[in-house]
Amino acid sequence: MKEVINIYRKQKINVDSFVKRLIDSLPKDYMTEAPNILKEYRYIQLMYGVNSEYKQITPIMFKKGSDSSRMGSDKSHYFMKLHLDEDKIYISNPYIHYKTGKASISVVHFVDSTYYIFDIDLILLLEELKLIEYNSFHDKVKRVIYFFGSTALALVSVALIGYGVFVFFLLMSSLATSDFLHDIFRSIISITLGLAIYDLAKQIFEHEVMYQSFHKSEDKQYKVLGKFLISIIIALSIETLMVVFKIALEDISNMISAFYLLIGTTIMLVGLGYFYKTVQEATPKEDD
């Protein structure tokens, strides 16, 4: 919603100009021609008429029918802050439509003592004007794929965390016959990887399934990748620590191998820091 509103605000003059030209081009007998208007202009969600006393005098016309149940209802609360321009047209601020749940704007045209209200789907309107790229079928397919993918990753993370906990309790029940350091670090690594994969699944679910994006945000992708890499580096650091301890206790002649592993982990950490620095410098700041 916030992203749609920001796009609308930046292009408000052009969008409002288009809407006014649209209203002016419609057949003047709005309600009689409502089925044709709704069919031709897919971004118009519904339309109805209100008289000068702010009473609804026509059915609400939808693409798939009409609703007469609210005829005669008082609409004065919608007109409290109404200010018509020189063309007798008013365009509201964006809002979430109570029937469709979509980002919308309302357009009011005053003609012959009657207020005609058009509720417009803002997403489809911006897509019509080529201000966003949106395809409902593609979006649904993408969401389904991301939903199953993120769910599978979440299940894998739960399995890893469960395995780590299982190894820990198994270790506690057999201290005398187990390699304590090896098993405890194996438990820690399994849980850490599980948390990293869960965090990745959560990020995918939140950004690709729950919330809709209308432009390619490299910053968002970098944040997801960065958080995942941080968890992986933590797991590698724990593994490096485990290797150092095992070599120190068993065969110190192999310490050079642990040193190389430590250098590799450090290089990854430095690389991640440089990665974040370049991303922050290259990403433009967006207006709230």
Taking only the tens place, the pLDDT of each residue in 55-75 is 999 999 988 888 888 889 999
pLDDT tens per residue across span 184-230: 777 887 887 888 788 888 878 877 776 555 555 555 566 667 777 77
- Model pLDDT, residue 137: 66
Q: Is 112 exposed, middle or buried (0-12, 13-18, 19+ CB in 10 A)?
A: exposed
Outline where DSSP puts E strands in the chain: 44-51, 60-62, 65-67, 89-91, 95-96, 103-111, 114-121
The tens digit of pLDDT for each residue in 139-185 reads 678 788 988 998 999 999 999 999 989 988 888 887 655 667 677 77
Cβ atoms within 10 Å of 249's Cβ, excluding its own: 9
Q: If you average pLDDT over every residue of the chain, what do you get?
A: 82
